[in-house]
Structure 1
Amino acid sequence: MSIDALIASIGRGASIGKPSFAEAARTGAVFGAVETITPLIGWAAGVVASQYVQAVDHWIAFGLLGAVGGRMFVHALKRSSEPSAQKPGRSIGLLIATAVGTSLDAMAVGVSLAFLQANIIVIALSIGLATALMSTGGMLAGRLIGAKFGRVAEMAGGVLLVGLGASILIEHLSA
Protein backbone atom coordinates (compact mmCIF):
# COMPACT_ATOMS: atom_id res chain seq x y z
CA MET A 1 0.00 0.00 0.00
CA SER A 2 2.83 2.45 0.75
CA ILE A 3 5.26 1.77 -2.09
CA ASP A 4 3.76 4.43 -4.36
CA ALA A 5 4.10 7.01 -1.57
CA LEU A 6 7.73 5.91 -1.08
CA ILE A 7 8.47 6.42 -4.79
CA ALA A 8 6.81 9.84 -4.76
CA SER A 9 8.77 10.82 -1.63
CA ILE A 10 12.09 9.80 -3.16
CA GLY A 11 11.29 11.92 -6.21
CA ARG A 12 10.20 14.82 -4.02
CA GLY A 13 13.37 14.63 -1.93
CA ALA A 14 15.49 14.57 -5.09
CA SER A 15 13.66 17.52 -6.63
CA ILE A 16 13.94 19.68 -3.51
CA GLY A 17 17.65 18.98 -3.29
CA LYS A 18 18.45 18.95 0.39
CA PRO A 19 15.26 18.66 2.40
CA SER A 20 15.68 18.96 6.15
CA PHE A 21 14.61 16.19 8.49
CA ALA A 22 11.67 18.39 9.54
CA GLU A 23 10.55 18.69 5.92
CA ALA A 24 10.95 14.94 5.42
CA ALA A 25 8.89 14.34 8.58
CA ARG A 26 6.23 16.80 7.35
CA THR A 27 6.03 14.94 4.05
CA GLY A 28 5.76 11.64 5.92
CA ALA A 29 3.04 13.07 8.15
CA VAL A 30 0.99 14.34 5.20
CA PHE A 31 1.35 11.10 3.25
CA GLY A 32 0.60 9.06 6.38
CA ALA A 33 -2.45 11.13 7.31
CA VAL A 34 -3.92 10.95 3.83
CA GLU A 35 -3.16 7.22 3.63
CA THR A 36 -4.95 6.77 6.97
CA ILE A 37 -8.00 8.75 5.92
CA THR A 38 -8.54 7.28 2.44
CA PRO A 39 -9.31 3.69 3.53
CA LEU A 40 -11.79 5.13 6.02
CA ILE A 41 -13.45 7.10 3.22
CA GLY A 42 -13.39 4.00 1.03
CA TRP A 43 -14.89 1.91 3.81
CA ALA A 44 -17.69 4.44 4.33
CA ALA A 45 -18.30 4.62 0.60
CA GLY A 46 -18.25 0.82 0.42
CA VAL A 47 -20.94 0.68 3.04
CA VAL A 48 -23.05 3.19 1.07
CA ALA A 49 -22.30 2.68 -2.63
CA SER A 50 -19.12 0.83 -3.60
CA GLN A 51 -19.75 0.63 -7.32
CA TYR A 52 -19.59 4.43 -7.67
CA VAL A 53 -16.21 4.77 -5.94
CA GLN A 54 -14.63 1.87 -7.80
CA ALA A 55 -15.92 3.23 -11.09
CA VAL A 56 -13.78 6.39 -10.98
CA ASP A 57 -10.89 5.91 -8.53
CA HIS A 58 -8.44 4.81 -11.24
CA TRP A 59 -9.19 7.88 -13.38
CA ILE A 60 -8.66 10.22 -10.45
CA ALA A 61 -5.37 8.50 -9.53
CA PHE A 62 -4.19 8.62 -13.14
CA GLY A 63 -5.03 12.32 -13.46
CA LEU A 64 -3.40 13.39 -10.20
CA LEU A 65 -0.25 11.26 -10.58
CA GLY A 66 0.08 12.15 -14.26
CA ALA A 67 -0.19 15.87 -13.53
CA VAL A 68 2.24 15.80 -10.60
CA GLY A 69 4.71 13.51 -12.42
CA GLY A 70 4.50 15.56 -15.60
CA ARG A 71 5.11 18.75 -13.64
CA MET A 72 8.16 17.20 -11.96
CA PHE A 73 9.57 16.07 -15.32
CA VAL A 74 9.03 19.44 -17.01
CA HIS A 75 10.48 21.27 -13.99
CA ALA A 76 13.61 19.09 -14.19
CA LEU A 77 14.02 19.87 -17.89
CA LYS A 78 13.72 23.62 -17.28
CA ARG A 79 15.94 23.69 -14.20
CA SER A 80 19.51 24.79 -14.74
CA SER A 81 22.45 22.95 -13.25
CA GLU A 82 23.12 25.96 -11.05
CA PRO A 83 21.51 26.00 -7.62
CA SER A 84 18.43 28.21 -7.54
CA ALA A 85 17.10 30.48 -4.84
CA GLN A 86 13.63 29.13 -5.63
CA LYS A 87 12.62 26.03 -3.68
CA PRO A 88 10.86 23.70 -6.14
CA GLY A 89 8.16 21.29 -5.09
CA ARG A 90 7.67 22.62 -1.56
CA SER A 91 4.08 23.78 -1.91
CA ILE A 92 1.64 22.16 0.51
CA GLY A 93 -0.96 21.96 -2.27
CA LEU A 94 1.37 19.92 -4.46
CA LEU A 95 2.27 17.71 -1.50
CA ILE A 96 -1.40 17.02 -0.72
CA ALA A 97 -2.23 16.37 -4.39
CA THR A 98 0.60 13.85 -4.59
CA ALA A 99 -0.50 12.21 -1.34
CA VAL A 100 -4.09 11.91 -2.55
CA GLY A 101 -2.98 10.53 -5.90
CA THR A 102 -0.85 7.86 -4.29
CA SER A 103 -3.48 6.89 -1.72
CA LEU A 104 -6.50 6.19 -3.90
CA ASP A 105 -5.62 2.49 -3.93
CA ALA A 106 -6.07 2.57 -0.15
CA MET A 107 -9.56 3.95 -0.71
CA ALA A 108 -10.33 0.98 -2.94
CA VAL A 109 -8.99 -1.34 -0.24
CA GLY A 110 -11.27 0.39 2.25
CA VAL A 111 -14.23 -0.33 -0.01
CA SER A 112 -13.39 -4.03 -0.06
CA LEU A 113 -12.83 -4.08 3.71
CA ALA A 114 -16.38 -2.86 4.20
CA PHE A 115 -17.59 -6.19 2.84
CA LEU A 116 -15.18 -8.25 4.97
CA GLN A 117 -16.25 -6.62 8.25
CA ALA A 118 -12.59 -6.06 9.17
CA ASN A 119 -11.45 -3.67 11.91
CA ILE A 120 -11.02 -0.64 9.65
CA ILE A 121 -9.57 1.60 12.37
CA VAL A 122 -6.63 -0.71 13.14
CA ILE A 123 -5.98 -1.34 9.46
CA ALA A 124 -6.16 2.36 8.49
CA LEU A 125 -3.83 3.38 11.33
CA SER A 126 -1.36 0.64 10.36
CA ILE A 127 -1.37 1.73 6.72
CA GLY A 128 -0.92 5.38 7.73
CA LEU A 129 1.97 4.68 10.10
CA ALA A 130 3.80 2.52 7.56
CA THR A 131 3.30 5.19 4.90
CA ALA A 132 4.52 7.98 7.19
CA LEU A 133 7.71 6.08 8.01
CA MET A 134 8.37 5.05 4.42
CA SER A 135 7.69 8.55 3.05
CA THR A 136 9.97 10.21 5.58
CA GLY A 137 12.71 7.73 4.69
CA GLY A 138 12.01 8.25 0.99
CA MET A 139 12.50 12.00 1.31
CA LEU A 140 15.83 11.45 3.06
CA ALA A 141 16.89 8.89 0.44
CA GLY A 142 15.86 11.36 -2.27
CA ARG A 143 18.12 13.92 -0.61
CA LEU A 144 21.11 11.63 -1.14
CA ILE A 145 20.06 10.75 -4.67
CA GLY A 146 19.34 14.39 -5.52
CA ALA A 147 22.74 15.55 -4.32
CA LYS A 148 24.45 13.21 -6.78
CA PHE A 149 22.02 13.00 -9.66
CA GLY A 150 19.83 16.13 -9.35
CA ARG A 151 17.84 16.65 -12.52
CA VAL A 152 18.06 13.01 -13.62
CA ALA A 153 16.57 11.83 -10.32
CA GLU A 154 13.78 14.40 -10.55
CA MET A 155 12.99 13.39 -14.14
CA ALA A 156 13.00 9.71 -13.14
CA GLY A 157 10.67 10.47 -10.23
CA GLY A 158 8.28 12.26 -12.59
CA VAL A 159 8.34 9.39 -15.05
CA LEU A 160 7.73 6.90 -12.23
CA LEU A 161 4.71 8.85 -10.98
CA VAL A 162 3.23 9.05 -14.48
CA GLY A 163 3.95 5.33 -14.92
CA LEU A 164 2.33 4.55 -11.58
CA GLY A 165 -0.79 6.46 -12.60
CA ALA A 166 -0.84 4.67 -15.97
CA SER A 167 -0.42 1.26 -14.32
CA ILE A 168 -3.36 1.97 -11.98
CA LEU A 169 -5.46 2.97 -14.97
CA ILE A 170 -4.41 -0.03 -17.09
CA GLU A 171 -4.98 -2.45 -14.20
CA HIS A 172 -8.55 -1.20 -13.72
CA LEU A 173 -9.37 -1.04 -17.44
CA SER A 174 -8.08 -4.56 -18.09
CA ALA A 175 -9.97 -6.10 -15.14
Structure 2
Amino acid sequence: MLEILLLALALAADTFAVSITLGSTHQDYAKRQFLKMALLIGMYFGVAQGVMPIIGYALGSTLLGWLAEGSSWIAFLILVGLGAKMLYESRSDNGDDVRINTNHRTLLSLAIATSLDAMAAGFTLNLLAINAYLACLIIALVTGVLSILGAYIGRKSVNWLGSWAEAAGGLVLIAIGVNMVV
Protein backbone atom coordinates (compact mmCIF):
# COMPACT_ATOMS: atom_id res chain seq x y z
CA MET A 1 0.00 0.00 0.00
CA LEU A 2 2.92 2.32 0.69
CA GLU A 3 4.13 1.81 -2.90
CA ILE A 4 0.77 2.98 -4.22
CA LEU A 5 0.76 6.10 -2.05
CA LEU A 6 4.33 7.00 -3.05
CA LEU A 7 3.47 6.41 -6.71
CA ALA A 8 0.37 8.59 -6.34
CA LEU A 9 2.39 11.41 -4.76
CA ALA A 10 5.05 11.22 -7.46
CA LEU A 11 2.49 11.25 -10.26
CA ALA A 12 0.60 14.15 -8.66
CA ALA A 13 3.69 16.40 -8.49
CA ASP A 14 3.21 17.77 -12.02
CA THR A 15 -0.49 18.42 -11.55
CA PHE A 16 0.21 20.10 -8.22
CA ALA A 17 2.64 22.53 -9.88
CA VAL A 18 0.24 23.25 -12.75
CA SER A 19 -2.60 23.78 -10.24
CA ILE A 20 -0.52 26.36 -8.39
CA THR A 21 -0.02 28.15 -11.69
CA LEU A 22 -3.73 28.05 -12.50
CA GLY A 23 -4.64 29.32 -9.04
CA SER A 24 -2.14 32.18 -9.25
CA THR A 25 -3.73 33.52 -12.41
CA HIS A 26 -7.24 33.54 -10.94
CA GLN A 27 -6.75 35.21 -7.57
CA ASP A 28 -9.38 37.84 -8.34
CA TYR A 29 -12.20 35.30 -8.64
CA ALA A 30 -14.91 35.45 -6.00
CA LYS A 31 -14.66 32.65 -3.43
CA ARG A 32 -17.55 30.69 -4.92
CA GLN A 33 -16.23 31.05 -8.48
CA PHE A 34 -12.71 30.08 -7.37
CA LEU A 35 -14.05 27.03 -5.49
CA LYS A 36 -15.84 25.89 -8.65
CA MET A 37 -12.66 26.34 -10.69
CA ALA A 38 -10.51 24.54 -8.07
CA LEU A 39 -12.95 21.60 -7.98
CA LEU A 40 -12.89 21.41 -11.80
CA ILE A 41 -9.09 21.38 -11.74
CA GLY A 42 -9.12 18.61 -9.15
CA MET A 43 -11.69 16.62 -11.09
CA TYR A 44 -9.92 16.87 -14.45
CA PHE A 45 -6.46 16.14 -13.08
CA GLY A 46 -7.68 13.40 -10.73
CA VAL A 47 -9.69 11.58 -13.37
CA ALA A 48 -6.87 11.82 -15.94
CA GLN A 49 -4.28 10.57 -13.45
CA GLY A 50 -6.59 7.73 -12.46
CA VAL A 51 -7.50 6.65 -15.99
CA MET A 52 -4.06 6.80 -17.60
CA PRO A 53 -2.52 4.06 -15.42
CA ILE A 54 -5.47 1.82 -16.28
CA ILE A 55 -4.70 2.38 -19.96
CA GLY A 56 -1.03 1.59 -19.35
CA TYR A 57 -1.97 -1.47 -17.31
CA ALA A 58 -4.24 -2.73 -20.09
CA LEU A 59 -1.80 -2.06 -22.91
CA GLY A 60 1.01 -3.91 -21.23
CA SER A 61 4.50 -3.82 -22.64
CA THR A 62 3.67 -4.19 -26.34
CA LEU A 63 2.44 -0.72 -27.18
CA LEU A 64 3.65 1.08 -24.10
CA GLY A 65 7.19 1.77 -25.32
CA TRP A 66 5.96 3.38 -28.52
CA LEU A 67 3.23 5.40 -26.79
CA ALA A 68 5.46 6.52 -23.93
CA GLU A 69 8.12 7.84 -26.30
CA GLY A 70 5.69 10.00 -28.27
CA SER A 71 3.67 11.12 -25.25
CA SER A 72 6.63 12.93 -23.72
CA TRP A 73 6.98 15.12 -26.78
CA ILE A 74 3.26 15.88 -26.92
CA ALA A 75 3.28 16.90 -23.25
CA PHE A 76 6.45 18.93 -23.85
CA LEU A 77 4.84 20.92 -26.68
CA ILE A 78 1.66 21.65 -24.73
CA LEU A 79 3.39 22.65 -21.49
CA VAL A 80 6.22 24.66 -23.04
CA GLY A 81 3.79 26.46 -25.34
CA LEU A 82 1.53 27.42 -22.46
CA GLY A 83 4.50 28.36 -20.28
CA ALA A 84 6.02 30.55 -23.01
CA LYS A 85 2.66 32.27 -23.48
CA MET A 86 2.47 32.97 -19.75
CA LEU A 87 6.03 34.34 -19.70
CA TYR A 88 5.27 36.62 -22.64
CA GLU A 89 2.03 37.87 -21.14
CA SER A 90 3.58 38.38 -17.69
CA ARG A 91 5.88 40.99 -19.20
CA SER A 92 3.08 42.88 -20.93
CA ASP A 93 1.91 46.26 -19.68
CA ASN A 94 -1.54 45.05 -18.74
CA GLY A 95 -0.47 42.29 -16.36
CA ASP A 96 -3.91 42.31 -14.76
CA ASP A 97 -5.30 40.57 -17.83
CA VAL A 98 -2.86 37.63 -17.68
CA ARG A 99 -4.91 34.53 -17.05
CA ILE A 100 -4.90 30.95 -18.24
CA ASN A 101 -8.34 30.25 -19.59
CA THR A 102 -9.77 27.45 -17.44
CA ASN A 103 -12.34 26.25 -19.91
CA HIS A 104 -12.95 22.53 -20.34
CA ARG A 105 -10.68 22.23 -23.38
CA THR A 106 -7.72 23.83 -21.60
CA LEU A 107 -8.20 21.77 -18.45
CA LEU A 108 -8.52 18.58 -20.49
CA SER A 109 -5.34 19.39 -22.44
CA LEU A 110 -3.41 20.13 -19.26
CA ALA A 111 -4.79 17.05 -17.53
CA ILE A 112 -3.75 14.79 -20.40
CA ALA A 113 -0.35 16.43 -20.78
CA THR A 114 0.46 16.05 -17.08
CA SER A 115 -0.85 12.48 -16.85
CA LEU A 116 0.89 10.85 -19.80
CA ASP A 117 3.66 9.64 -17.50
CA ALA A 118 0.95 7.94 -15.43
CA MET A 119 0.20 5.73 -18.45
CA ALA A 120 3.78 4.47 -18.38
CA ALA A 121 3.55 4.03 -14.62
CA GLY A 122 0.45 1.90 -15.21
CA PHE A 123 2.64 -0.78 -16.73
CA THR A 124 4.45 -1.17 -13.41
CA LEU A 125 1.13 -2.10 -11.84
CA ASN A 126 1.51 -5.40 -13.71
CA LEU A 127 4.70 -6.02 -11.74
CA LEU A 128 3.31 -5.28 -8.27
CA ALA A 129 1.15 -7.64 -6.26
CA ILE A 130 -1.65 -5.09 -5.87
CA ASN A 131 -5.12 -4.46 -7.15
CA ALA A 132 -4.48 -2.16 -10.14
CA TYR A 133 -7.95 -0.62 -10.03
CA LEU A 134 -7.64 0.24 -6.34
CA ALA A 135 -4.22 1.74 -7.09
CA CYS A 136 -5.72 3.89 -9.85
CA LEU A 137 -8.49 5.06 -7.54
CA ILE A 138 -5.94 6.07 -4.91
CA ILE A 139 -3.86 7.86 -7.57
CA ALA A 140 -6.97 9.73 -8.74
CA LEU A 141 -7.98 10.78 -5.23
CA VAL A 142 -4.48 11.91 -4.20
CA THR A 143 -4.08 13.86 -7.43
CA GLY A 144 -7.50 15.49 -7.12
CA VAL A 145 -6.89 16.61 -3.54
CA LEU A 146 -3.37 17.89 -4.27
CA SER A 147 -4.62 19.74 -7.35
CA ILE A 148 -7.30 21.55 -5.36
CA LEU A 149 -4.74 22.36 -2.68
CA GLY A 150 -2.32 23.60 -5.35
CA ALA A 151 -4.92 25.95 -6.80
CA TYR A 152 -5.47 27.48 -3.36
CA ILE A 153 -1.74 27.80 -2.75
CA GLY A 154 -1.41 29.49 -6.13
CA ARG A 155 -4.18 31.92 -5.29
CA LYS A 156 -2.41 32.92 -2.07
CA SER A 157 1.05 33.01 -3.69
CA VAL A 158 0.12 36.06 -5.73
CA ASN A 159 0.11 38.08 -2.53
CA TRP A 160 3.80 37.42 -1.96
CA LEU A 161 4.94 36.88 -5.55
CA GLY A 162 3.09 39.90 -6.91
CA SER A 163 3.38 40.37 -10.66
CA TRP A 164 6.02 37.63 -10.88
CA ALA A 165 3.47 34.88 -10.18
CA GLU A 166 2.61 34.41 -13.85
CA ALA A 167 6.27 34.42 -14.88
CA ALA A 168 7.09 31.87 -12.19
CA GLY A 169 4.15 29.75 -13.29
CA GLY A 170 5.28 29.92 -16.91
CA LEU A 171 8.78 28.81 -15.91
CA VAL A 172 7.34 25.92 -13.89
CA LEU A 173 5.29 24.72 -16.88
CA ILE A 174 8.32 24.95 -19.17
CA ALA A 175 10.45 23.05 -16.61
CA ILE A 176 7.85 20.29 -16.34
CA GLY A 177 7.69 20.04 -20.14
CA VAL A 178 11.47 19.89 -20.49
CA ASN A 179 11.67 17.32 -17.67
CA MET A 180 9.24 15.08 -19.54
CA VAL A 181 11.54 14.75 -22.53
CA VAL A 182 14.81 14.57 -20.63
TM-score by length of 1: 0.85
Query: Which digits, 9 at most, give the CA deviation of each residue in 1:119-168, with x for residues without a partner?
Result: 22111111110010001011111111124434311111111111111112
Deviation, structure 1 residue 116 = 4.2
SS in 2 for 1:78: coil
Report the identity percentage. 29
The one-letter code sitting in structure 1 at the alignment partner of 2:110 is T
CA distance in 1, matches of 2:134, 2:35: 28
The one-letter code sitting in structure 1 at the alignment partner of 2:24 is A
- Per the alignment, residue 141 of structure 1 pairs with 153
Task: Note the residue ranges of structure 1 that are not aligned, 5 or more in a row.
Answer: 171-175
- Per the alignment, residue 33 of structure 1 pairs with 47
Is 1:7 the equivalent of 2:17?
yes
Q: Is the Cα–Cα contact under 8 Å of residues 38 and 110 in structure 1 kept in the other structure?
A: yes
Per mean C-alpha deviation after superposition, the further-off stretch among 66-75 and 131-140 is 66-75
The one-letter code sitting in structure 2 at the alignment partner of 1:59 is W
Deviation, structure 1 residue 23 = 1.4
Cα separation, partners in 2 of 1:24 and 1:68, compared to 1, 3 Å: same
Q: Is the Cα–Cα contact under 8 Å of residues 15 and 89 in structure 1 kept in the other structure?
A: no
Count the aligned residue pairs.
168
Structural RMSD (CA): 2.1
- Per the alignment, residue 64 of structure 2 pairs with 50
TM-score by length of 2: 0.82
Deviation, structure 1 residue 79 = 5.7
CA distance in 1, matches of 2:162, 2:24: 6
Cα separation, partners in 2 of 1:63 and 1:18, compared to 1, 3 Å: same
Matches within 5 A, 1:1-175: 1-19=11-29, 20-46=34-60, 48-78=62-92, 80-81=94-95, 83-84=96-97, 88-116=100-128, 118-170=130-182
The one-letter code sitting in structure 1 at the alignment partner of 2:114 is T
Deviation, structure 1 residue 24 = 0.9
Deviation, structure 1 residue 118 = 3.8
- Per the alignment, residue 173 of structure 1 pairs with none
The one-letter code sitting in structure 2 at the alignment partner of 1:36 is G
Per mean C-alpha deviation after superposition, the further-off stretch among 149-158 and 130-139 is 149-158
